[in-house]
Amino acid sequence: MSENRIKIVEKILDANDRLANSNRQRFNEVGVYSINLMASPGAGKTSFILKTIEGLMADGVQIGVIEGDTAPVTIDSDKINAAGMPAIQINTGGECHLDAVMLENAIDQMDLSPLDLVIVENVGNLICPAAFALGTHSNVLVASIPEGDDKPYKYPNIYRGLDVLIINKTDLLPYIDFNMDYFRQGVEMLNPGLTTFAVSCKTGEGMDPWLEWLKGRISK
């Protein structure tokens, strides 16, 4: 990259960081815990949000969801609404990640005051979402068994910035060559001691420890 190009990219990221801080402040002012949920396409982000909503429903936790997609569709936000929670759909207009401006626009449209938790479903992509802070309290990645056990080695940047890792689709382990030790070693190298939950959104197995972790973060 040329020196000029590096300077322009740095300026964009600085501006993004400033807005991310202001987003964080807005969440803090109303006592809302917020999550940036990342994953490759189809890893199970929406399924995981739906299972989380289901798991916290009995505790009366109010969850707002912001859905990022590259196309003008409402497929994921319709599912959240059908589960009884408010959702805002962001169409990135082809961009392959969300940034702090897009999140700011979404929270302008969302009444945060009745909410305890906001989950932002980022665009399905393992590369640039890692570079754009949104201002959320934690970065969570959903990795899934069919993607293969080598992903931490091939997409290291996203793993480095994580607060929590979800390993989804564990129900498929009997059918797919996935070496869990190899996968976990790769993660450990990039992000030692990372909080990790192995789950199946299909069967619900493994969701309880994640829900306990989350309840510990929500001020309710």
State the binding string over 62-91 for ligand GTP (x if CB under 6 A, else -). Answer: --------------x---------------
Which of 22, 31, 41, 109 touches ligand GTP by CB under 6 A?
41
Q: What is the CA radius of gyration of the chain?
A: 17
Tell me how far, at minimum, the Cβ of 150 lies from ligand GTP, in Å.
19
CB hemisphere CA count around 193 (13 angstroms): 0
Binding residues for Mg ion, how many (CB under 5 A)?
A: 3
Instruction: Report helix angle 75-82 to 45-57, nearest 10.
Output: 10
Q: What whole-number distance in Å separates Cα of residue 15 and Cα of residue 7?
A: 12
Classified as helix, coil or strand, 179 is coil
Piece of the chain touching Mg ion by CB under 5 A; list 22-30, 71-79, 153-161, 182-190: 71-79
Site for Zn ion in 85-104 (CB under 5 A): 96-97
> Cα separations (Å) of 32 from 60, 96, 117, 124, 145?
14, 26, 5, 24, 31
Contact between 76 and Mg ion by CB under 5 A: the answer reads yes
The β-bridge partners of 117 are 33, 63
Binders of Mg ion in range 22-51 (CB under 5 A): 45-46
Residue 97 lies near ligand GTP (rule: CB under 6 A): no
| Among ligand GTP, Mg ion, Zn ion, none, residue 201 binds (CB under 5-8 Å by kind) | ligand GTP
Give the binding site for ligand GTP (CB under 6 A). Answer: 39, 41-47, 76, 124, 168-169, 171-172, 200-202
